[in-house]
């Protein structure tokens, strides 16, 4: 990290800029990178979703704009930006406009909490795992407001479904998180990742002791993200488009962006907790092994760690897409029953098992 | 089929070449006849396939097409109604599926089914003038004619 | 009792099988046809835009008998102005087909006693104006010669 | 009383109503308290149309009553007219009619399966079923010239013969199809989400199906083995009317009629999937016969000069959505005096209020989807 800082100061010196500018702007750099990365990733993700779903169903997916349809989402984004913003006459104007922001801003905040590499994270607090869960549940409020404010019955049903769903699935999610915290003995996400280092490659990942927990977490995350088969708030065959029926243009784009960004972040979070986050699956970093320039290798390791994290994240996202392609939607009462009757007891079981594991085996 | 049992309902059996045989009955006896045909073990007509209304210019004819699942039989019961006061007792008490059929006939022929409480126009919009399937119906609404612009 | 306790396992197996079945389609070739560039091959039976058959001497086979009008399910679709030529035979002075009203049932082709009207494989008929969908005798003739050139139709007689 | 109720309109334009049906629902939370179907948005006056057209002119229009299974409507009408005018239909054309109708039933069921599962939220089966339906439609296009509005049957025959080449193609399709059906079943039949959503949902009792005149697969799902294709009814007596049961060459073919027990949404799904397999069986039998036998298929009568003697006739056809009856009354002229259509979906819509009462809102899709309602058939 310090090395990077000195490189930056050196770079500024070349253009005769004083050091305090460097001091002031250096902390902002990762933020800008992270924010830009998020937008890029989301644009790519939308395309990936469409492509992957197309492959599952023997289609080609978007292939008109740019090579292999790479610029399709950019074209879509521009289209959304150019569209007229319509506010329904009966809507609560203030809340109607507030809702997309409320859905989008927490996502940007939460993004900074993910440890991208062993040195490089934007916000690192000792309780970052807890903070993540807290902030990640705010977008539900945005959805509730959107449904309430848009003066549409479909939206209203969608939003109250969403809230019920979020409340019931948050609980098992947190209990699984607690089991991970027990394993790592820390609430800091970076410490959780570092606790997964072991002598043998990838054997220390928490997915192995907490496989049940991983499954529960995956299911609950899918529900939290309102993705199929838990996409009740926007079940298109019942509620037309659910809570965002009345939204158009940029406001709709905010919801859309928030949804996909949250999906990526949730998967990154899952990768951090269970799949060793930025750790390499080989037990060593490729750049360390193959590049003999020590300084360069040190820098490259950070990027490699980001790469591993992204790879794991995309694998999880792919699994989510497979689930979406296969499963039918749950019914609302079935959904609640599943959360309270199946997932919650199972998450207790998982926690109990992890505690025993920690006490008898892991601690030794 | 042995139709002699039905004599008490004052029926007339019509056979024609090129047509199926029909049991002609007075509208006052219709409900009793259908009830009998449905419940008697010999006939057991448990399904009303459809009701067909025909405009015979002087009067209307209703044909009740009955099917039996158990005995694989068919019966067609025909009722003639006066054109000037088209009224007939409803049979939704006997066959519930008749409700939509009766609404349809009310909508397109203007035949009224007494004691069918929720008779409504099924296909045509509210306030439509005339009964389209009558032979003397004339299209008066200009919005419906094909205009090239 | 035994069966009920096994239900979760059977459910998990069924779910896994479902996911596997969907996943295996990734390795299959897409069945999409990218429409404007590639088109489905059409066979000779296809019912597309109409054309009037012209024989080798450049004369229409049509004798303006009006059978096509009588078998057409939508009214006022086909309009024929008939006229007598020098040798006393009828021929169509003008022959219009209104594609706004045509339902492409193919009755006119099927029941024409002279085989004078055919349907080509042209199906991209969208236009900005309704009037462009009214085919007069010249367009119908042109359709025939076009389709002969494109080999989208077999030359009759 | 209605203070806490939410009145909501499903339709006329709604993703899951499969056309322009409007359902006025009253919700209490997520529970449907009452439902009122409003139909008529697609009324085209099919029956009035017949009265000012000749018999032949009306024939192409008939396909549009149920655009997913045009052959059945076409056959019902042709059959009525043929019986009235006493036109013989050759054996070969009967076999081709059976072949095309069964293929049509298969394509119709495939579309139903895809859209039903899409309503339930499973996306990919829709694309698989459409992929396979596309093969059938291409075959139809090759045979008749169009994909949905076939206009292939004529009074007393068919427009043109099938070629051996075409039959080979159908044979290839029949060979690969069982594997595809197995794929759909793998994805969905035992899926716990699907089963809990459909089992014991929308239960139709034997009595109420008959009371409401529900026919077709919906009736067979309740356990009543009634199929108008089959003359060998299990409980029926052998002397049935000369028309009606066992039309065309179905009595010569070997097939069984799938039924289920409870009559819930899952059973309706199951019966239709089994019926698809029966279709494949019938198709392959027809192909075998057609390959080994030749015959005339073009009708000798002049179609456009057809005059039908006075009389009336009802022909019943086992269409994919229930019994399709066509009543034709002739007064001896070239135009039918009165044509009346009886279609399966019309009665399936009627039973909706009864089925939907006190069910959850998401069950609406599971129930309505499984009934296989198609709106052009309801409104005609």
A228 and A341 belong to one structural domain: yes
Put simply, whether B117 touches D (Cβ < 8 Å) is no
pLDDT band at D231 (very low <50, low <70, confident <90, very high): low
Helices H, strands E: what count in chain B? 2, 7
D135, containing H or E segment = helix D124-144
Distance CA D46, CA B133 (A): 10
Interface of A with D in 235-254 (CB under 8 A): 235-238, 240
Note whether D15 contacts A333, CB cutoff 8 Å.
Answer: no
Mean of pLDDT values over D168-176: 89
- B touches which chains (3+ CB pairs under 8 A)? C, D
Does B141 fall in a domain?
no
Tell me the Ramachandran region of residue B119: left when phi exceeds 0, alpha when psi lies from -120 to 50, beta otherwise: beta
Closest listed residue to residue A308, CA positions, set A284, A277, A268:
A277
Going by pLDDT thresholds of 50, 70 and 90, the confidence category of residue D1 is very low
Domain coverage including residue B109: 4-131
Task: Give the per-residue pLDDT at D154.
Answer: 86
Looking at the structure of chain B, the number of domains it has is 1
Residue C23 touches partner A, C-beta closer than 8 Å: yes
Q: For B60-88, write each residue's pLDDT tens digit.
A: 888 888 888 777 777 888 888 888 888 88
Contacts across the B-C interface (CB distance below 8 Å) = 4
The per-residue pLDDT for range D75-124, each reduced to its tens digit, is: 888 888 888 888 888 888 888 888 898 889 999 999 988 888 888 888 88
Whether residue C154 is predicted with pLDDT greater than 70 in this model: the reply is no
Residue (of D271, D249, D253) closest to D262 by Cα position:
D271
DSSP character at residue B14? E
pLDDT of residue C33: 82
Q: Is residue B43 part of a domain?
A: yes
**CA of C112: which chain D residue's CA is closest?**
D304
Higher-scoring residue by pLDDT: A117, C131: C131
- C-alpha gyration radius of chain C: 26
* B73 part of a folded domain: yes
pLDDT mean over A12-33: 73
- A63 plus A100 within the same structural domain: no
pLDDT in the model for residue A65: 82
Q: Inter-chain contact B49–D342, Cβ cutoff 8 Å?
A: yes
Cβ contacts (< 8 Å) between C11 and chain D: which residues? 190, 192
Nearest neighbour of B46 by CB, restricted to D210, D241, D309: D210
Please report the pLDDT score of residue A252 as a whole number. Answer: 85
- On whether any CB of chain C is under 8 Å from the CB of B148, the answer is yes
Nearest-angstrom CA–CA distance, A77 and A260:
13
User: Residue A62: closest CA among chain C residues belongs to which residue?
Assistant: C34
Chain B residue at shortest CA distance from C100 = B148
CATH code of the domain covering residue B75: 3.30.460.80
Measured between alpha carbons, how far is A47 from D316 in angstroms, rounded to an integer?
A: 51
Neighbour subunits, D (≥3 Cβ pairs < 8 A): A, B, C
> What are the residue ranges spanned by the domains of chain D?
2-379
User: Is B143 a member of any domain?
Assistant: no
Which of A82, A107, A130 is at the close of a domain? A82
- In this prediction, residue B141 carries a pLDDT of 65
In this prediction, what percent of chain A has a pLDDT beyond 70? 95
Residue with the larger pLDDT of the pair A118 and A260:
A260
Is B132 in CB contact (< 8 Å) with chain D? yes
CB-based contact, B48 to chain D, within 8 Å:
yes
**B54 lies within 8 A of chain D by CB:** yes
Q: What is the pLDDT of residue D234?
A: 44
Q: What pLDDT is attached to residue D376?
A: 85
Measured between beta carbons, the chain C residues lying within 8 angstroms of D54 are 70-71
A56, C18: Cβ pair inside 8 Å?
A: no
Q: Both A71 and A149 in a single domain?
A: no
Residue B116 CB partners (closer than 8 Å, separation 6+): B90, B92, B99, B102
Q: Do A190 and A133 fall within a single domain?
A: yes
What is the mean pLDDT of the segment spanning A93-115?
84
Residue A132 and residue A65 share a domain:
no
Determine, for residues A238 and D194 on separate chains, whether the beta-carbon distance falls below 8 Å.
no
The 3-state secondary structure of D198-228, one letter per residue: HCCCCCCCHHHHHHCCCCCHHHHCCCCCCCC
From B46, B50, B73, residue closest to D342, measured CB to CB = B50
Q: What is the ipTM of this complex?
A: 0.83
- Judge: C32–A60 Cβ closer than 8 Å, yes or no: yes
Residue A279 pLDDT: 79
Same domain, A239 and A194: yes
Domain hosting residue A171, numbered range? 91-362
Cβ-based contacts of D61 with chain C (< 8 Å): 73, 103
Q: Residue A153's pLDDT band (boundaries 50, 70, 90)?
A: confident
Domains of chain C: 50-149 (3.30.70.3270)
pLDDT band at B149 (very low <50, low <70, confident <90, very high): very low
Q: Which of C13, C21, C103 sits opposite D60 (nearest CB)?
A: C103
Beta strands in chain D (DSSP E): 6-10, 22-28, 31-38, 153-154, 157-158, 311-319, 322-330, 336-342
Of A58, A59, A329, nearest to D121 by CB-CB distance is: A329
pLDDT beyond 50 at C155: no
Within 10 A of A250 (CB to CB), how many other CB atoms are there? 16
Q: Give the number of domains in chain A.
A: 2
Within 8 A of B64 by CB-CB distance, chain D residues are: none
Please tell me which of the candidates D141, D149, D183 has its beta carbon nearest to residue C46.
D141
Mean pLDDT, range A131-137, rounded to an integer:
85
Question: Region D192-203: what's the mean pLDDT?
Answer: 84
Q: What are the distances in angstroms from CA A354 to CA A37, A169, A361, B8, D170?
A: 35, 20, 10, 84, 59
Helix (H) or strand (E) run with residue D48 in it: helix D46-51
Position D148 pLDDT exceeds 60: yes
Cα separation values, A212 from A196, A226, A346, A354, Å: 17, 21, 8, 10
- Contact flag D143-C45 (C-beta cutoff 8 Å): yes
Quickly tell me which residue has 């995309």 as its tokens. Answer: A314
- Which among A21, A52, A82 is the end of a domain? A82
- Greatest C-alpha distance within chain D: 71
pLDDT bucket at B147, cuts 50 / 70 / 90:
low
What is the 3 state secondary structure string of chain A? CHHHHHHHHHHHHHCCCCHHHHHHHCCHHHHHHHHHHHHHHHHHHHHHHHHHHHHHCCCCCCCCCCHHHCCHHHHHHHHHHHCCCCCCCCCCHHHHHHHHHHHHHHHHHHHCCCCCCCCCCCCCCCCHHHHHHHHHCCHHHHHHHHHHHCCCHHHHHHHHHHHHHHHHHHHHHHHHHHHHHHHHCCCCHHHHHHCCCCCCCCCCCCCCCCHHHHHHHHHHHHHHCCCCCCCHHHCHHHHCCHHHCCCCHHHHHHHHHHHHHHHHHHHHHHHHHHCCCCCCCCCCCHHHHHCCCHHHHHHHHHHHHHHHHHHHHHHHHHHHHHHHHHCCCCCHHHHHHHHHHHHHHHHHHHHHHHHHHHHHHHCC
Q: Which residue in the block uniquely carries the two structure tokens 């005018």?
A: D85
Does the pLDDT of residue D166 top 60, yes or no?
yes
Nearest-CA distance D7 → chain A (Å): 9
D48, D233, D379 ranked by CB distance to B72: nearest? D233
B140 assigned to some structural domain: no
* Span D11-22, pLDDT tens digits: 787 777 777 888
Say if A157 is an interface residue toward chain D (CB within 8 Å).
yes
In contact, D332 and D308? CB cutoff 8 Å: yes
- Over 70: is that where the pLDDT of B92 sits? yes
Which is more confident, D29 or D219?
D219
Sign of the Cα torsion D73, D76, D80, D86 reads positive
Q: How far apart are CA D342 and CA D246, in angstroms?
A: 19
Q: What pLDDT sits at residue D236?
A: 39
Same domain, A103 and A40: no
Nearest to A236 by CA among D227, D365, D241, D307: D365
Does B144 reside within a domain?
no
- Write down the pLDDT at residue D125: 86
How far apart are alpha carbons D65 and D74 in whole angstroms? 9
Of A280-284, A303-307, D360-364, the poorest mean pLDDT is in A280-284
Percent residues over pLDDT 90 in chain C = 0
Picking from D123, D132, D146 by the largest number of C CB atoms within 10 A of its own CB, the best residue to mutate is D146
Question: What token pair was written down for A36?
Answer: 């830009």
Which residue of chain D is at minimal alpha-carbon distance from B132? Answer: D48
| Pick from D50, D154, D153, D174: nearest CA to D101 | D153
Last residue of a domain, one of A82, A102, A137: A82
Judge whether D142 and D104 are in contact, CB under 8 Å: no
Chains that touch A (3 or more CB pairs under 8 A): C, D
Please indicate, yes or no, if residue B148 is contained in any of the structural domains.
no
Alpha-carbon distances, residue A301 vs A188, A222, A285 (angstroms): 21, 31, 7
pLDDT digit string, tens, across residues A30-87: 677 777 878 888 888 888 888 888 888 888 888 888 788 888 888 888 888 888 888 8
Mutation for testing the B interface, residue in D220, D251, D338, D380 having most B CBs under 10 Å: D338
Question: What is D2-379's CATH superfamily?
Answer: Cytochrome-c3 Hydrogenase, chain B (1.10.645.10)
First to last CA, chain B: 60
Q: Tell me whether chains B and D touch (3+ CB pairs under 8 A).
A: yes
Read off the pLDDT band of B2 (50, 70, 90). Answer: low
Residues 95-114 (C) with a CB less than 8 A from some CB of B = 100-101
Kindly report which listed range (A36-40, B11-15, D64-68, D376-380) carries the lowest average pLDDT score.
B11-15
| Residue A2: per-residue pLDDT | 65
pLDDT at C113: 83
Whether A73 and A117 map to the same domain: the answer is no
Q: How many CB atoms lie within 10 A of CB A151?
A: 16
Is residue A141 domain-shared with residue A48, that is, in the same domain? no
Chain B residues in contact with C134 (beta carbon < 8 A): none
Alpha-carbon distance of C22 to C27, in angstroms, equals 10
Do the domain assignments include residue B142? no
**Spatial contact of D329 and D84, defined as CB atoms under 8 Å apart:** no
pLDDT digits (tens, 9 = 90+) for A243-254: 888 888 888 888
Same domain for A225 and A329: yes
Q: Give per-residue pLDDT as tens, D320-372.
A: 888 888 888 888 888 888 888 888 888 888 888 888 888 888 888 888 888 88
Q: Is residue D210 very low, low, confident or very high in pLDDT (cuts 50, 70, 90)?
A: confident
Residues of C with CB under 8 A from a CB of D: 10-11, 13-15, 17-18, 20-22, 25, 31, 40, 42-43, 45-47, 67, 70-73, 103-107, 110-111, 119
pLDDT value at position A336?
Answer: 83
Q: Which chain B residue lies closest to D37 (C-alpha atoms)?
A: B122
Confidence of residue A358 (pLDDT cuts 50, 70, 90): confident
d(CA D217, CA D208): 15
CB-based contact D141 C107, cutoff 8 Å: no
pLDDT band at B3 (very low <50, low <70, confident <90, very high): low
Q: How far from chain centre, in Å, is Cα C19?
A: 41
């Amino acid at each position: 990290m310090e090395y990077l800082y000195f490189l930056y100061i050196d770079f500024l010196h070349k253009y005769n800029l004083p050091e305090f500018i460097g001091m002031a702007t250096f902390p902002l750099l990762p933020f800008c990178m992270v924010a830009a990365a998020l937008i890029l990733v989301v644009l790519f993700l939308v395309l990936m979703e469409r492509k992957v779903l197309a492959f599952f169903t023997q289609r080609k997916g978007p292939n008109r704009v740019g090579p292999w349809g790479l610029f399709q989402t950019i074209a879509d984004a521009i289209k959304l930006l150019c569209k007229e913003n319509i506010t329904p006459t009966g809507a609560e104007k203030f809340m109607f406009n507030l809702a997309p922001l409320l859905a989008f801003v927490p996502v940007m905040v939460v993004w900074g909490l993910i440890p991208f590499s062993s040195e490089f994270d934007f916000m690192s607090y000792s309780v970052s795992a807890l903070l993540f869960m807290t902030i990640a549940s705010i977008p539900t409020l945005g959805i509730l407001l959107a449904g309430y404010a848009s003066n549409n019955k479909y939206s209203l049903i969608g939003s109250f479904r969403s809230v019920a769903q979020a409340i019931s699935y948050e609980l098992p999610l947190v209990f699984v998180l607690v089991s991970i915290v027990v394993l790592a003995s820390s609430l800091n996400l970076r410490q959780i990742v570092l606790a997964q280092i072991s002598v043998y490659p990838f054997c220390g990942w928490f997915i192995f002791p907490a496989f049940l927990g991983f499954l529960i977490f995956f299911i609950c995350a899918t529900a939290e993200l309102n993705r199929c088969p838990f996409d009740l708030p926007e079940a298109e065959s019942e509620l037309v488009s659910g809570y965002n029926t009345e939204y158009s243009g940029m406001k709709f784009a905010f919801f859309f962006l928030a949804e996909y960004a949250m999906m990526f972040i949730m998967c990154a979070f899952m990768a951090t907790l269970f799949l060793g986050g930025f750790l390499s699956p080989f037990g060593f970093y490729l750049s360390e092994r193959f590049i003999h320039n020590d300084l360069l290798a040190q820098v490259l390791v950070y990027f490699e760690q980001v790469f591993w994290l992204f790879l794991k994240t995309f694998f999880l996202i792919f699994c989510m897409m497979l689930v979406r392609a296969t499963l039918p939607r749950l019914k609302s009462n079935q959904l609640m029953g599943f959360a309270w009757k199946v997932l919650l007891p199972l998450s207790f079981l998982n926690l109990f098992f992890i505690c025993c594991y920690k006490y008898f085996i892991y601690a030794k | 089929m042995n139709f002699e049992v039905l004599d008490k309902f004052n029926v007339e059996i019509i056979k024609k070449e090129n047509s199926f045989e029909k049991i002609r009955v007075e509208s006052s006896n219709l409900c009793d006849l259908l009830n009998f045909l449905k419940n008697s073990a010999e006939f057991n007509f448990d399904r009303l396939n459809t009701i067909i209304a025909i405009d015979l210019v002087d009067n209307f004819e209703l044909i009740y097409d009955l099917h039996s699942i158990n005995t694989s039989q068919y019966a067609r019961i025909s009722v003639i109604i006066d054109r000037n006061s088209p009224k007939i007792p409803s049979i939704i008490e006997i066959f519930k599926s008749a409700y939509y059929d009766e609404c349809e006939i009310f909508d397109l022929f203007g035949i009224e089914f007494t004691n069918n409480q929720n008779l409504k126009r099924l296909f045509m919009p509210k306030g439509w003038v005339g009964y389209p399937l009558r032979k003397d119906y004339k299209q008066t609404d200009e919005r419906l004619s094909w205009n090239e612009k | 009792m035994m069966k009920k306790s096994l239900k979760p396992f059977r459910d998990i197996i069924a779910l896994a099988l479902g996911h596997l079945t969907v996943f295996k389609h990734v390795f299959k070739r897409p069945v999409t046809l990218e429409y404007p560039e590639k088109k489905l091959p059409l066979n000779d039976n296809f019912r597309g835009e109409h054309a009037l058959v012209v024989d080798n001497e450049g004369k229409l086979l049509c004798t303006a008998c009006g059978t096509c009008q009588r078998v057409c399910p939508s009214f006022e679709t086909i309009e024929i102005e008939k006229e007598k030529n020098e040798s006393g035979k009828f021929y169509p002075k003008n022959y219009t087909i209104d594609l706004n009203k045509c339902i492409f049932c193919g009755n006119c082709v099927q029941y024409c006693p002279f085989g004078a009207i055919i349907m080509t494989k042209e199906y991209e008929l969208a236009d900005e104006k309704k009037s462009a969908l009214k085919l007069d005798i010249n367009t119908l003739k042109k359709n025939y010669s076009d389709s002969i050139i494109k080999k989208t139709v077999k030359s009759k007689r | 009383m209605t203070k806490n109720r939410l009145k909501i309109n499903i339709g006329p334009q709604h993703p899951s109503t499969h056309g322009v049906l409007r359902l006025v629902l009253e919700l209490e939370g997520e529970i449907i308290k009452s439902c009122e179907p409003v139909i008529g948005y697609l009324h085209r006056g099919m029956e009035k149309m017949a009265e000012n057209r000749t018999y032949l002119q009306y024939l192409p229009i008939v396909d549009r009553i149920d655009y997913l299974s045009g052959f059945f409507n076409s056959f019902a009408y042709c059959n009525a007219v043929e019986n009235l005018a006493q036109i013989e239909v050759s054996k070969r054309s009967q076999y081709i009619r059976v072949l095309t109708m069964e293929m049509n039933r298969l394509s119709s069921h495939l579309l139903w399966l895809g859209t039903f599962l899409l309503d339930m939220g499973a996306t990919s089966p829709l694309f698989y079923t459409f992929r396979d339906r596309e093969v059938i439609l291409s075959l139809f296009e090759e045979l008749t010239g169009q994909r949905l509005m076939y206009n292939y049957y004529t009074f007393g025959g068919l427009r043109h013969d099938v070629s051996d080449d075409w039959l080979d193609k159908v044979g290839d399709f029949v060979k690969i199809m069982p594997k595809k059906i197995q794929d759909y079943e793998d994805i969905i039949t035992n899926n716990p989400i699907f089963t809990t959503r459909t089992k014991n949902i929308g239960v139709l009792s034997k009595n109420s199906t008959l009371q409401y005149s529900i026919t077709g697969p919906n009736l067979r799902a309740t356990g009543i083995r009634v199929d108008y294709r089959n003359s060998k009814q299990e409980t029926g007596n052998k002397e049935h009317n000369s028309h009606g049961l066992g039309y065309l060459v179905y009595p010569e073919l070997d097939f069984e009629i799938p039924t289920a027990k409870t009559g819930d949404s899952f059973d309706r799904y199951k019966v239709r999937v089994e019926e698809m397999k029966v279709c494949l069986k019938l198709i392959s039998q027809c192909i075998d016969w057609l390959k080994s036998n030749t015959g005339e298929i073009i009708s000798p009568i002049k179609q456009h000069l057809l005059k039908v003697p006075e009389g009336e006739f009802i022909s019943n056809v086992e269409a994919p959505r229930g019994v399709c009856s066509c009543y034709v009354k002739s007064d001896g002229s070239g135009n039918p005096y009165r044509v009346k259509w009886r279609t399966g979906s019309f009665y399936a819509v009627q039973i909706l209020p009864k089925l939907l009462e006190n069910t959850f809102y998401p069950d609406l899709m599971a129930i309505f989807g499984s009934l296989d309602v198609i709106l052009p058939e309801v409104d005609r």
